[in-house]
Amino acid sequence: MTQDASLHQRRRPPTQAELDGIPWLHRLLPAERARAVAALVVGEACAGDYVCRVGRPVTYWFGVVEGLLKMSADNVDGLTMTFTGVPPGGWFGEGTVVKREPYRYNIQALRRSVVAGLPIDTFHWLLDHSIGFNRFVMNQLNERLGQFISAREIDRMGRPDLRVARSLAALFNPVLYPGVGEVLRITQQELAYLVGLSRQRVNEALAFLQAQGAIQVEYGGLRVLDLEALRTSLFAQQHPHGAAA
């Protein structure tokens, strides 16, 4: 289910619990769902495994059942730009699958992850036959556009607390990542990879956001207390460590 042979060799049919966590399946009619379930496969990606690579042909539409992936690309200067993380419940690459074009980004596992794949031909069959599936994909494309616009804004932000806040808001998007809920299981090092900051800077930013009442740092993850504050930077007039505005 990927160009990396090891992950491809680890593919298997999904369990019922894994199927229950796929957000678009319940939108399908019985015959549509049966066709999709028969085609779906899952694979276990180890940390560092690539699910997708720039320039490789698309064969599956992918979703995260468990774990955390990173979507990134290298620019002309050889620097890596991270677009977003993909937590549980997130499906990605629908634009690439619709156009049947090679990948323009890399998708890499930040930790052990269970990844589901729907073959490209089944994806297009559902587009041709399922109204519910079409609505789901349209919502995905709309939310994805806003996400990438936000990613460009984040890349220009100088304040670490704002970068971390906006990045967390993106990971808690209930449309793109319905499997996250109120608590995101993520380490500070993983968040640092996604935001493009050092772990120390991320730690300081998290402490500041917690002091502002926007999040709560818990063992093994983060709980969002005020998603709107993360999205709109309502705390922007405050500065960490009492710095002047």
In this prediction, residue 76 carries a pLDDT of 63
The neighbouring-strand residues paired with 44 are 114
Q: What percent of the chain has pLDDT over 70?
A: 84
Identify which of 198, 220, 203, 229 has the alpha carbon closest to the alpha carbon of residue 68.
Answer: 220
Tell me the C-alpha to C-alpha distance, in Å, between residue 163 and each of 34, 108, 150, 225: 42, 21, 10, 18
pLDDT digits (tens, 9 = 90+) for 40-62: 999 999 999 999 999 999 999 99
In this prediction, residue 81 carries a pLDDT of 75
pLDDT digits (tens, 9 = 90+) for 85-107: 899 999 999 999 999 999 999 99
Hey, what domains does the chain have and what are their CATH numbers?
Answer: 5-152 (2.60.120.10), 158-242 (1.10.10.10)
> DSSP letter at 233?
T
pLDDT digits (tens, 9 = 90+) for 106-157: 999 999 999 999 999 999 999 999 999 999 999 999 888 776 666 666 556 6
In this prediction, residue 153 carries a pLDDT of 63
Tell me the C-alpha to C-alpha distance, in Å, between residue 124 and each of 6, 100, 116, 118, 135: 27, 10, 17, 10, 14
In this prediction, residue 182 carries a pLDDT of 82
Both tokens assigned to 128: 């041709």
pLDDT digits (tens, 9 = 90+) for 210-237: 999 999 999 889 999 998 888 886 665 5
